[in-house]
């Protein structure tokens, strides 16, 4: 390419005296003007080195007048000369112009974003929103968002646009038909909600896209094979028993008890033992609780950042106190996962042990990651390994903690269903205090209660996508490439078009007869399609084991003084925790003194 933006021709119109262009000279273009100045002309801008009034660097340039290298050198030389020759006042003018141009560029970019979004979402009527904040102000009221969205959903059949400010909008889908259209495609996760979580869980299976996601999903699917999951049931039983023993100690003095925290420790213990073969003591050693606290903090901060669009900007966020807190919690979370990886690598004694392990028929999650090799024989990079461990450590315990805690709350709220589950469990377990693999299929009523709780209190209340190509929905309305979508699992699971009295807790909705013919996307706790939850069987087993053993040992009673307040913070939590009164059951009957 010979067409350079500057010319070395001496016939260039610029002259040293007209450079730099005056701000008042309308004919001058300060972007291109310097580029039309010859090296000879510019050499005279450089400070003279004295003797012959000749510029210090000038002699080197004419030696290679026609080479590209020389031209580039001259441009740099010209620029340096020009800058050195500027007066302070000129510098201010330049800075002002550049600033103004940058501002204009940004404003026009924002305008285009806004215009494209308004056009894209025009076919979809939206709830009333403020001209500047959109619906952002409503979303600042933490703990109100789920009910608010559900309330809005009643006025729109399929969904509605949600505006956070003027430059972020997404279509919030509340109808199974729309969900089906989206989940049948392979659009990537959206680049906003998930972006804030990437510093924490990296680009592991949850967030990655394309070939990387496909390769890792195929690699990790065997870790959830039926034969791998089978022995985990006794691990789950043991972890639940540790929690119940603790509850027995605590209950005489501390009743009602906040259970979410205890359940989180239990599910963390379980995932560490099952997926990472890490013999943790998180439930008994309080010094190991730091990770759980960091997870709370990170979930809260990710949600906070999403709601406050001013913090969507990385620079502002990183300089804010929230950014500081985020980095501090991140350090704790990453130290935890690093410890797990390091310990396992040492144990495996690398080469020798890896060969032995890869010959076993079923590998656990961490084995698979450590044994993985691509076609060139290269293993996963440390970054990819850490991202997967962080993803599974978080996804594998926080979601199930939420699931189990809300199931216990739902059963406390509906004692008649609780009692029916207990009867069923008593019949299957008898005097045993351990659940076995075969038991899991023999507790259909408890399973229905678990599903009903996942419907009413979905641990993952929503998922998001960014369209990689246009989409046309069943009613003919379309959205262009690049549009953002949130699937509100919370609203879809309560869609009045598919669930009669959606607010009523009725486990029999999941009986075989009542489930027959139901829309396959009307119940989406684990999403569906390509990006469905890889750990759903693991999760269902864990929820069954925990529910069975807890109900066998305790009666659960609501604390009317402390009703949980739902909040969507990455997973479904309660702002004030979940407080339940626990009554010990001995030999199948309530213990007299605790009644
Ligand atoms: C009650 C418990 C659980 C619920 C409700 C749940 C729900 C979900 C949902 C809705 C998704 C889709 C996310 C999206 O599209 O952005 C998902 C994905 C995922 N879940 Fe779960 N999950 C649960 C438990 C687990 C467990 C125990 C594990 C691991 C042991 C796990 C690992 C994952 C992973 C890795 C993904 C990403 C899958 C992919 O994109 O290929 N989940 N989960």
> 539 CB less than 6 Å from ligand 1?
yes
Weakest-pLDDT range from 384-393, 404-413, 418-427: 384-393
Cβ–Cβ contacts within 10 Å for residue 512, how many?
A: 8
Ligand 1 centroid from CA 394, angstroms: 10
- How far is 553 from 81, CA to CA, in rounded Å? 84
pLDDT at 373: 77
Of 577, 586, 584, 589, the residue nearest 257 (C-alpha): 577
Tell me: cis bond preceding 256? Omega within 30 of 0 counts. Answer: yes
Of 568, 481, 566, 488, the residue nearest 521 (C-alpha): 488
- How far is 338 from 332, CA to CA, in rounded Å? 10
- How far is 370 from 53, CA to CA, in rounded Å? 69
Ligand 1 centroid from CA 527, angstroms: 8
Which is more confident, 492 or 300?
Answer: 492
Q: Are 273 and 235 in contact (CB under 8 A)?
A: yes
Mean pLDDT of all residues in 226-254 = 94
Q: Which residue has the tokens 């709601």?
A: 307
- How far is 127 from 35, CA to CA, in rounded Å? 53
Ligand 1 centroid from CA 50, angstroms: 73
Calculate the alpha carbon distances from 422 to 114, 143, 215 in Å.
56, 32, 43
Query: Best mutation site among 179, 392, 399 for ligand 1, i.e. most ligand atoms within 8 A of its Cβ?
Result: 399
Ligand 1 centroid from CA 526, angstroms: 6
- How far is 153 from 500, CA to CA, in rounded Å? 16
pLDDT at 168: 86
Which is more confident, 563 or 588?
Answer: 563
| Among protein residues, the one whose CA lies closest to atom 19 of ligand 1 | 533
> 526 CB less than 6 Å from ligand 1?
yes
Ligand 1 centroid from CA 533, angstroms: 4
> 396 CB less than 6 Å from ligand 1?
yes
- Which DSSP letter does residue 276 get? S
Q: Strand 478-479 relative to strand 471-472: parallel, antiparallel, unpaired?
A: antiparallel
> 205 CB less than 6 Å from ligand 1?
yes
| Among protein residues, the one whose CA lies closest to atom 23 of ligand 1 | 399
Instruction: Give the pLDDT confidence of 479-536 residue by residue, as tens digits.
Output: 999 999 999 999 999 999 999 999 999 999 999 999 999 999 999 999 999 999 999 9
Atom of ligand 1 nearest to the CA of 571: 5
Atom of ligand 1 nearest to the CA of 217: 41
Mean pLDDT of all residues in 447-470 = 97
In the numeric block, which tokens belong to residue 399?
Answer: 């979601």
User: Which band of pLDDT confidence, cut at 50, 70 and 90, is reported for residue 277?
Assistant: confident
Q: Residues in the chain, how many?
A: 595
> 215 CB less than 6 Å from ligand 1?
no
User: Which band of pLDDT confidence, cut at 50, 70 and 90, is reported for residue 27?
Assistant: very low
- How far is 93 from 22, CA to CA, in rounded Å? 9
* Alpha helix stretches (DSSP H) within 86-175: 88-121, 136-139, 145-153
Ligand 1 centroid from CA 457, angstroms: 15
> 406 CB less than 6 Å from ligand 1?
no
pTM for the predicted model, two decimal places: 0.82
> 534 CB less than 6 Å from ligand 1?
yes
Q: In the predicted model, is pLDDT for residue 77 greater than 90?
A: no
User: Which band of pLDDT confidence, cut at 50, 70 and 90, is reported for residue 367?
Assistant: confident
> 490 CB less than 6 Å from ligand 1?
no
Query: Best mutation site among 185, 219, 535, 544 for ligand 1, i.e. most ligand atoms within 8 A of its Cβ?
Result: 535
pLDDT at 461: 97
> 460 CB less than 6 Å from ligand 1?
yes
Of 234, 264, 583, the residue nearest 404 (C-alpha): 264
User: Which band of pLDDT confidence, cut at 50, 70 and 90, is reported for residue 271?
Assistant: very high
User: Which band of pLDDT confidence, cut at 50, 70 and 90, is reported for residue 307?
Assistant: confident
Ligand 1 centroid from CA 251, angstroms: 33
Ligand 1 centroid from CA 492, angstroms: 17
Which is more confident, 41 or 186?
Answer: 186
Q: Which helix H or strand E contains 580, and what residues bound it?
A: strand 579-586
In the numeric block, which tokens belong to residue 555?
Answer: 């009666």
- How far is 547 from 230, CA to CA, in rounded Å? 18
Mean pLDDT of the chain: 84
- How far is 570 from 301, CA to CA, in rounded Å? 10
Calculate the alpha carbon distances from 368 to 202, 228, 351 in Å.
18, 12, 14
Q: In the predicted model, is pLDDT for residue 56 greater than 50?
A: no
- How far is 161 from 121, CA to CA, in rounded Å? 7
pLDDT at 169: 92
Q: Strand 169-173 relative to strand 484-488: parallel, antiparallel, unpaired?
A: parallel
pLDDT at 15: 35
User: Which band of pLDDT confidence, cut at 50, 70 and 90, is reported for residue 14?
Assistant: very low
Cβ–Cβ contacts within 10 Å for residue 211, how many?
A: 8
Cβ–Cβ contacts within 10 Å for residue 49, how many?
A: 12
Q: Are 255 and 211 in contact (CB under 8 A)?
A: no
- Across-strand partners of 172? 160, 486
Q: In the predicted model, is pLDDT for residue 124 greater than 90?
A: yes
Ligand 1 centroid from CA 395, angstroms: 6
Ligand 1 centroid from CA 532, angstroms: 7
Residue 309 neighbours by CB under 8 Å, 6+ apart:
136, 164, 165, 167, 168
Atom of ligand 1 nearest to the CA of 489: 10
Percent of all residues in the chain with a pLDDT value above 90, rounded to a whole number: 62
Torsion sign (Cα): 48, 50, 56, 62: positive
Instruction: Give the pLDDT confidence of 163-212 residue by residue, as tens digits.
Output: 988 888 999 999 999 999 999 999 999 988 789 999 999 999 999 999 99
Radius of gyration (C-alpha) of the chain in whole angstroms = 31
Ligand 1 centroid from CA 109, angstroms: 36
DSSP code per residue over 453-493: HHHHS-SS-EEEEE-SS-EE-TTS-EE-TT-EEEEEHHHHT
Residue 55 neighbours by CB under 8 Å, 6+ apart:
43, 44, 46, 47, 48, 49, 81
Quick one: 68 exposed, middle or buried, by C-beta within 10 A (0-12, 13-18, 19+)? Answer: exposed
pLDDT at 471: 98
| Among protein residues, the one whose CA lies closest to atom 27 of ligand 1 | 396
Weakest-pLDDT range from 306-315, 322-331, 482-491: 306-315
Instruction: Give the pLDDT confidence of 503-519 residue by residue, as tens digits.
Output: 999 999 999 999 999 99
Q: In the predicted model, is pLDDT for residue 31 greater than 60?
A: no
Atom of ligand 1 nearest to the CA of 525: 5
Atom of ligand 1 nearest to the CA of 365: 30
């Amino acid at each position: 390419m010979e067409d350079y933006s500057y010319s070395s021709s001496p016939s260039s119109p610029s002259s040293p005296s007209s450079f730099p262009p005056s701000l008042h000279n309308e004919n001058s273009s300060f972007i291109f003007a310097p580029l039309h100045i010859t090296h000879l002309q510019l050499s005279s801008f450089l400070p003279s080195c004295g003797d012959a009034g000749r510029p210090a660097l000038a002699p080197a340039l004419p030696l290679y007048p026609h080479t590209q290298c020389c031209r580039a050198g001259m441009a740099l030389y010209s620029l340096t000369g020009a800058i050195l020759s500027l007066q302070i006042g000129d510098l201010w003018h330049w800075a002002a112009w550049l600033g103004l141009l940058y501002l204009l560029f940004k404003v026009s970019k924002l305008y285009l974003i806004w215009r494209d979004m308004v056009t894209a979402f025009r076919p979809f009527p939206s709830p009333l929103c403020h001209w500047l904040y959109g619906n952002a102000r409503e979303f600042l009221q933490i703990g109100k968002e789920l009910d608010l969205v559900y309330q809005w959903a009643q006025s729109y059949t399929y969904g509605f646009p949600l505006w956070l400010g003027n430059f972020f909008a997404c279509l919030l889908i509340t109808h199974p038909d729309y969900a089906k259209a989206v989940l049948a495609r392979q659009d990537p996760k959206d680049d906003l909600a998930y972006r804030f979580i990437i510093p924490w869980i990296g680009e592991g299976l949850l967030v990655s896209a394309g070939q990387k996601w496909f390769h890792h999903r195929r690699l990790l699917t065997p870790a959830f094979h039926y034969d791998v999951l089978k022995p985990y049931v006794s691990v789950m039983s043991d972890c639940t028993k540790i929690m119940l023993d603790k509850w027995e100690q605590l209950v005489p003095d501390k009743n009602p008890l906040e259970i979410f925290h205890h359940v989180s420790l239990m599910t963390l213990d379980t995932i560490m033992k099952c997926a990472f073969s890490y013999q943790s003591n998180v439930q008994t050693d309080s010094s190991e609780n730091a990770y759980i606290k960091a997870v709370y903090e990170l979930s809260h901060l990710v949600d906070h950042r999403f709601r406050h669009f001013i913090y969507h900007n990385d620079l502002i966020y990183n300089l804010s106190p929230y950014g500081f807190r985020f980095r501090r919690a991140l350090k704790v979370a990453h130290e935890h996962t690093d410890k797990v990886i390091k310990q396992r690598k040492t144990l495996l004694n690398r080469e020798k042990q890896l060969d032995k392990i890869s010959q076993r028929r079923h590998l656990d999650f961490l084995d698979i990651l450590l044994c993985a090799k691509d076609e060139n024989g290269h293993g996963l990079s440390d970054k990819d390994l850490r991202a997967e461990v962080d993803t599974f450590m978080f996804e594998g315990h926080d979601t199930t903690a939420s699931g189990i805690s809300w199931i216990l709350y739902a059963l406390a709220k509906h004692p008649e269903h609780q009692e029916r589950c207990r009867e069923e469990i008593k019949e299957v377990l008898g005097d045993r205090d351990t659940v076995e693999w075969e038991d899991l299929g023999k507790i259909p009523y408890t399973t229905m209660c678990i599903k009903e709780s996942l419907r009413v209190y979905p641990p993952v209340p929503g998922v998001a996508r960014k369209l990689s190509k246009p989409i046309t929905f069943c009613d003919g309305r379309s959205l262009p490439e690049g549009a953002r979508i949130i699937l509100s699992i919370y609203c879809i699971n309560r869609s009045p078009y598919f669930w009669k009295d959606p607010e009523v807790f009725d486990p029999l909705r999941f009986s075989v007869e009542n489930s027959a013919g139901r829309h396959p996307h009307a119940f989406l706790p684990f999403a569906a399609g390509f990006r469905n939850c890889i750990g759903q069987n693991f999760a269902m087993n864990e929820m069954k084991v925990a529910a069975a053993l807890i109900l066998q040992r305790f009666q659960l009673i609501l604390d009317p003084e402390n009703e949980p307040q739902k909040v969507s913070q990455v997973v479904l939590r309660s702002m004030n925790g979940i407080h339940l009164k626990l009554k010990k059951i001995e030999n199948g009957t309530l213990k007299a003194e605790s009644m």
